[in-house]
Amino acid sequence: MSRKPKKGYFVRGQFVAEGSEMDLELKAELKGTDEASRTDLKRESTELQKLGEALLTLRADLMQGLALPEKLADAVAEAKRITNFEGKRRQMQYIGKLMRQLDDDTLQSARDALEVQQKGSAGDALALHQAEQWRDKLIAGDEALEQWQRAYPGTDTQQLRALIRQARRDVQPDAESVSKGLAPRQGRAYREIFQLVREQLDHEGPPSQLSRLT
């Protein structure tokens, strides 16, 4: 009587019997691979969902530069109009689904556009801070004015001096303000100095002397 053949399969030319130790190891390895794949897919899906949400904050000029499918562009525009929480959630899920259909180049262009916007915002904040530093230093002492003149010789010095003198007069506290504990008022000259400095910085960039104004 012939023996019943064992059930199994071949792996790289080697027979693996079902239920054997090697069979269990291979199946565990395969299961682990599947789990890892599912984890990777979930992570990728979450990342694309967040990228789709970020597109709602993208400036119009940067959005127009993206080669997004019309269906996705319309979905993003619609999401901006929706105020209902549940409606918004459903729309974002739909956007996430559309994002998963994009090719790698389009996805990268969306990431690049968001990075440009973020760096631009950071740059604007830095320029604002630098202008505020110069304004305060110019009002505080003449040394800063000399440094400013060396850095920006094209500035209308007479106008700037007049604004500084007026700003210094404006910040002198009167007796009533002192008695009430009020901060010195900031007049028009204070704002005009900031505007002059900001325009000059935007035009020529911050000078190296700024680091010595601290």
List, for residues 70-89, the tens digit of each pLDDT value.
899 999 999 999 999 999 99
Distance separating alpha carbons of residues 2 and 120, to the nearest angstrom: 80
* pLDDT confidence band for 13 (50 / 70 / 90): low
Decide if pLDDT at 150 tops 50: yes
Decide if pLDDT at 205 tops 80: no
Distance separating alpha carbons of residues 195 and 197, to the nearest angstrom: 5
Q: What share of the chain in percent tops pLDDT 90?
A: 27
Query: What are the tens digits of pLDDT across the range 54-72?
Result: 999 998 888 877 878 889 9
Q: What is the mean pLDDT of the chain?
A: 79
Decide if pLDDT at 103 tops 70: yes
> What are the Cα distances from residue 51, in Å, to 59, 160, 191?
14, 47, 39
Query: What are the tens digits of pLDDT across the range 113-148?
Result: 898 888 887 777 777 788 889 999 999 989 999 999
> What are the Cα distances from residue 107, in Å, to 49, 87, 103, 187?
12, 25, 6, 49
pLDDT at 92: 93
Decide if pLDDT at 31 tops 80: no
pLDDT at 185: 54
Smallest Cα–Cα separation from 199: which of 128, 147, 136?
A: 128
Distance separating alpha carbons of residues 199 and 26, to the nearest angstrom: 69
pLDDT at 89: 92
Amino acid in the structure at residue 139: I
19: left (phi over 0), alpha (psi -120 to 50) or beta: left
* pLDDT confidence band for 36 (50 / 70 / 90): very low
Domains of the chain: 12-102 (1.10.60.30), 121-212 (1.10.60.30)
pLDDT at 9: 67
Q: Which two tokens stand for residue 109?
A: 């262009």
pLDDT at 198: 87
Q: How many Cβ atoms sit within 10 Å of the Cβ of residue 25?
A: 11
Please provide the DSSP assignment of 92-132 as one string.
HHHHHHHHTTS-HHHHHHHHHHHHHHHHHHHHHHHHHHHHH
Among 120-129, 154-163, 178-187, 196-205, name the one with the lowest average pLDDT: 178-187
pLDDT at 183: 43
